[in-house]
Amino acid sequence: MIPKAIFGRTGHLSTRTLFGAAALSQVSQAEADQTLELLLAHGVNHIDTAASYGNAEQRLGPWMATHRDQFFLATKTEQRTRQGAWEELQRSLERLRVDYVDLWQMHVLVDPAGWETAIGPGGALEAFIEARRQGLVRYLGVTGHGVNAAAMHQRSLEQFDFDSVLLPYNPAMMRNPQYAADFEALLAHCQQHNVAVQTIKSLTRRPWGSQPQTHATWYEPLTEPAAVQAAVDWVLARPGLFLNTVGDIHLLPAVLEAASRFDPATNQTEAAARLSPYTLEPLFV
C-alpha cells in the first residue's frame, strides 16, 4: 500500500507517490487508459499534469469525465502574462473535461526575467488569483527545474503565499552544496507555513550521453529493480515530501511497486548506501 500524507494546507490525503502525467505526453489513448487503470489498482489519487506535456491533458480528459472525484488534479502553465495564462487555463479545463482543477501551478518559474513578468503588473499571478476567486482552481503553486529552483521558489513564497512547490530532489542533486542549502532552507519555510513540497527526477541516473535513448525520460533513468527501490526509498524516507513519478509509462509499474513496498523505518543513509553501486550524476549543473 502506497503511504499517504496530507498535501500541505489543502487538507487532501494524497498518496505520497503522485502520478507525473508527463509520461502520457506521447502515448495513445489505449496506453493512457492502461496507465490510469494501474494508478487505480495502486490507489494513487493525485495526478500532476501540464499544458506543455504534449497530449497528456487530452489523454486524461476521458478519465476525468468519469473519475474526477477520485483524483486531486493539478496542471501547470508556462505563460507569464495575465492574458496568456488565463487563456491557457481555459484550454486546460476544456482538454481535461473538468470545471476546475485542484492545483494550478506556474511551471518552470526559475528565470529571473520571466519571474518579474509573472509576478508583476499584468502578470500570470493576476490570472491565478482571479481563477481562484472564480473557483476555476482551488490552490496555487510554483514549479522549477535547475540548480536555482529552490532559491527561486523561496523568492516566490516571499512574494506570494503559494500552496505548493515542486523541484528536483535526488542524491546527485543534493551533493551540490549550494543547492542542498537552498533546498533545506526552502523545506524549512514550507514546513513552517504548511506548503506542500513535491519532488521530481528521483530516478535520475545521469544525463543522456551518446548512447541511444531507450526511455521517454529526458535523462537516463535508473531501471534495475534494486536501484528503483533504493531511489524511491531515499525520497520517501524524508517525511513530508511527495514523489512525482517517472515520465515513462514503462517504468511507472516499478516505481509504484517500490512505493508500495516502502518501509517507514527506512532512513536516507541506508537507502543511499544501496544506491552506491550505481554511478549517479546530476542532471542540472
Residue 209: per-residue pLDDT: 87
Residue 141: per-residue pLDDT: 98
Tell me the domains of the chain and their CATH numbers.
4-275 (3.20.20.100)
Residue 211: per-residue pLDDT: 80
Residue 11: per-residue pLDDT: 98
Residues 6+ apart with CB under 8 A from 275: 171, 227, 230, 231, 234
pLDDT in tens, 38-78: 999 999 999 999 999 999 999 999 999 999 999 999 999 99
Phi, psi (degrees; rounded to nearest 5) at 188: -60, -45
Please identify every stretch of the chain with a pLDDT value under 70, giving residue numbers as ranges.
none
Integer Cα distance of 134 and 154 in angstroms: 27
Residue 10: per-residue pLDDT: 98
Residue 136: per-residue pLDDT: 99
- Cα diameter, the chain: 52
